[in-house]
Structure 1
Amino acid sequence: MLFDYMTLKLIWWGFVGVLIIGFALTDGFDFGVGMSLPFLGKTDAERRVIINTIGPTWEGNQTWFIAAGGCLFAAWPLVYGAAFSGFYIALMLLLFALFFRPVGFDYRSKIADPRWRGAWDWALFTGGFVPPLIFGIAFGNLLQGVPFHYDDTMRMEYTGNFLTLLNPFGLLAGVLSVAMLAMHGATFLQQKTEGALAERARRMAMAAAGVSIAAFAAGGVWIAYGIDGYRITAMPDVNTAFMPVAKTVVRASGAWLDNYARWPATLALPAGALLAALAVVVLSARRRTLAAFLASGTAVAAIILTAGSAMFPFVMPSSLAPASSLTAWDAVASHKSLGIMFWVVVIMLPIVVMYTSWVYSIVRGKVTLEHIRDNEHTAY
């Protein structure tokens, strides 16, 4: 093997993070555009403009979600199994919400009836709003700990239910997730549209950025003073394979801040998130649309990295039995599996990035009302 086991475990922590951020940056603005559709589009033509800003690329963007899920299954099989057991109802709601996107895009313009198109507009809103909400709530619950444990035969048991996920901190995390992707979608729209529609998108971007700043700051204070984090106090050699219960974990106030004290450079992540979101407000107010979109992407990435750096090496903490918590050290596949998949990612990920960049270079430019009128029967 080119890398030892511990190094591959670290590399795969990074790979999963890259895929999650790639998903948030690409499909994230698709979600933001979808949730803005019934509010920013005042006429059917304007709503078609909104839809066609993401029409050529949304399917490709969604492959980042598939890739992230596939890597989660391949690299962290125990996390995949525990998450799909514990968050089953939430994930089914996510799946059904995603169903609205392909059928909404394809069927909305089939019938020129306001009631038909209005119904599909709200379906696309659901497909844009519900997934970020669920992702945020799920991550908020990860920071608090998930009620599962392994018994003496290493069978995982989850004791929570869907309603326990809807706790105050989980809902705050859901608000942050929705707000930051609404901001990202609105900055994309103000870059891709013009006139009154772009102006409404500008106002939405500024408002969503403000909510993101408030929710992110409130969540940080809550984590520091109101939520116990998790800390590993003893564990086997991380360069070997071992079961989750072989380590010792304690819950402690402020434990999620340990990594920031250990590696002070990581403090740049939460600071960068706040500054980038503030930059969205300033740049949008000055109508510097491309810079605002780039600032929005920076804010989204920094928010995700802030949470990830705080939790490392935890992936899915257990609130019932802290020793059962899943981490980057003990939830992984075998050394050989990680090594083979490393080369798959190294070869395929640059190809995906280059292809995605090429597609966006082809469809660059604004979508206008004239474009919709000239392509009445081919545009969404």
Structure 2
Amino acid sequence: MESFIFLEYSTLRFLWWVFLGALLIGFAVTDGFDLGVASLLPLVAKSDKERRVLINSIGPVWEGNQVWLITAGGAIFAAWPLIYAASFSGFYLAMLLVLVALIIRPVGFKYRSKLESSSWRSSWDYLLCFSGVVASLVFGVAMGNIILGVPIEFDQISLRVSYNGNFFGLFRPFSLVTGVLSVVMLAMHGANFLALKTEGVLQERSMFYGKIFSFLTVVVFVVAGFLVKNIDGQIITSIIDYNGPSNPLLKVIELQKGAWLLNYEKWPMVCIVPIVGILGPIASFIAIGKQYHVSAFIGSSVSIAAIIVTVGVSLFPFLMPSSFGNCSSGLTVWDSSSSHLTLWVMFLSTLLFLPIVIAYTSFVYRVMRGKVNDKSVAESHNSY
């Protein structure tokens, strides 16, 4: 009875690993399509009226979509404090770059139509495109660096984290590949959303670019998968105390080429995850050709989720491997969490509030459903 009321520490750690993945997927699927729309502004829209249609297609929902990112950051801070500390130490400048890109978006949305000047509006449109591409790229580069290992080290006594890399060191060949994967994946998602929300020539262009980026997503994802085979993954060779204290220095790590693929040998059933990551864009490509726009959007959403889960399954139980020294400073599910009580209280809060958030988000999307065109933009007093 006690184990049911008060879940074991190891169980809560695993559940919060699942919750963290769900929050990242929620952010990538929701905010991902409006980042993709911003990235596609110069390609799909050829005039001011067309660009206004694109911006207003995401106007009612983009602010709510970013809540997923804020929630994920809060969850990391509360449930995985060592991850929070290490990531802000290692990726500080990269996060600052993302922050600048995300700040540009609301400013661009609010100010681009305040003046009739074509140069004024074009400047904001290119800044919006810049923000979409940069944010997508940096998120992907960060994921690539986690797979490669982050040069972090924890002090033996105080467990104070130090970062032994630099900003430009983040942009390594493999991390650039994962960065490109993020850009083309979210561009695919954005194009599918535009095909769903627009009509006429804008819809035709969106379908065209949806096919292109669906194809590129498959290609880059497969290339990244082959590259992972030649990357030094990590294996824990010491005994794991799943209910032990959050001290990353208590484990022993061994480097092994291709070790990030061992979980697929251990649990063959999870091989379905990367397969879905490949089939999703293919299904989206086919659905676009048949003008099944809802199916295409679902296909890109499933693909994004599967690609994120692929990374999580590959790294498990690691959350942020270290590439510094003997790599023992790497953070795992079992040695980087908050206390048992903290995870339990947060778990109960999540069970209470997450369904409310999902219900409200679903309600907003339902209310804001329908096509966006020149007429609806002109008639609305709240359009951008």
Quickly name the TM-score band, shorter chain normalised: over 0.9
**Residue 144 (str. 1) matches residue 157 (str. 2):** no
SS at match of 2:236: strand
Structure 1 segment 355-366 matched on structure 2, within 5 A: 355-366=360-371
CA distance in 1, matches of 2:113, 2:358: 31
Structure 2 stretches lacking a partner, 5+ long: none
Q: Quick check: 198-207 or 226-235, which moved more?
A: 226-235
**Residue 262 (str. 1) matches residue 266 (str. 2):** yes
Write out the 4+ residue segments of structure 1 that deviate beyond 3 Å after TM superposition.
Answer: none
User: 1:130-178 CA deviation, whole Å, 9 max, x = no partner?
Assistant: 1110010011011011111123222222110011111100000000001
Residue aligning to 1:110: 114
Residue 342 of structure 2 aligns to which amino acid in structure 1? Answer: S
Residue 373 of structure 1, CA deviation: 2.5
**Residue 192 (str. 1) matches residue 166 (str. 2):** no
Residue aligning to 1:279: 283
CA contact (8 A) 1:136 1:177 kept: yes
What percentage of aligned pairs have identical amino acids?
Answer: 47
CA distance in 1, matches of 2:126, 2:118: 12
Residue 236 of structure 1, CA deviation: 4.1
Structure 1 segment 366-377 matched on structure 2, within 5 A: 366-375=371-380, 377=381
CA contact (8 A) 1:236 1:242 kept: no
Structure 1 stretches lacking a partner, 5+ long: none
CA distance in 2, matches of 1:286, 1:362: 27
If the length of structure 1 is used for normalisation, what is the TM-score? 0.98
Residue 139 of structure 1 aligns to which amino acid in structure 2? Answer: M
Structure 1 segment 112-131 matched on structure 2, within 5 A: 112-131=116-135
The alignment yields a C-alpha RMSD, in angstroms, of: 1.0
CA contact (8 A) 2:248 2:329 kept: yes
User: 1:96-130 CA deviation, whole Å, 9 max, x = no partner?
Assistant: 11111111111111001100100110111122111
CA distance in 1, matches of 2:292, 2:269: 30
Structure 1 segment 309-328 matched on structure 2, within 5 A: 309-320=313-324, 321-328=326-333
**Residue 28 (str. 1) matches residue 35 (str. 2):** no
Structure 1 segment 3-18 matched on structure 2, within 5 A: 3-18=7-22
Residue aligning to 2:309: 305
If the length of structure 2 is used for normalisation, what is the TM-score? 0.97
CA distance in 1, matches of 2:364, 2:344: 31
Structure 1 segment 1-380 matched on structure 2, within 5 A: 2-153=6-157, 154-224=159-229, 226-320=230-324, 321-375=326-380, 377-380=381-384
Residue 178 of structure 1 aligns to which amino acid in structure 2? Answer: V
Residue 308 of structure 1 aligns to which amino acid in structure 2? Answer: G
SS at match of 1:251: strand
CA distance in 2, matches of 1:220, 1:307: 10
CA distance in 2, matches of 1:189, 1:34: 11
SS at match of 2:237: strand
Q: Quick check: 318-327 or 14-23, which moved more?
A: 318-327
CA distance in 1, matches of 2:236, 2:64: 39
Residue 165 of structure 2 aligns to which amino acid in structure 1? Answer: G
Residue 372 of structure 1, CA deviation: 1.8
CA contact (8 A) 1:72 1:80 kept: yes
> How many equivalent pairs are there?
378
CA contact (8 A) 2:138 2:179 kept: yes
CA contact (8 A) 2:318 2:330 kept: yes
CA distance in 1, matches of 2:20, 2:379: 42
CA distance in 2, matches of 1:149, 1:328: 17
CA distance in 2, matches of 1:238, 1:286: 50
SS at match of 1:183: helix
CA distance in 1, matches of 2:383, 2:142: 36
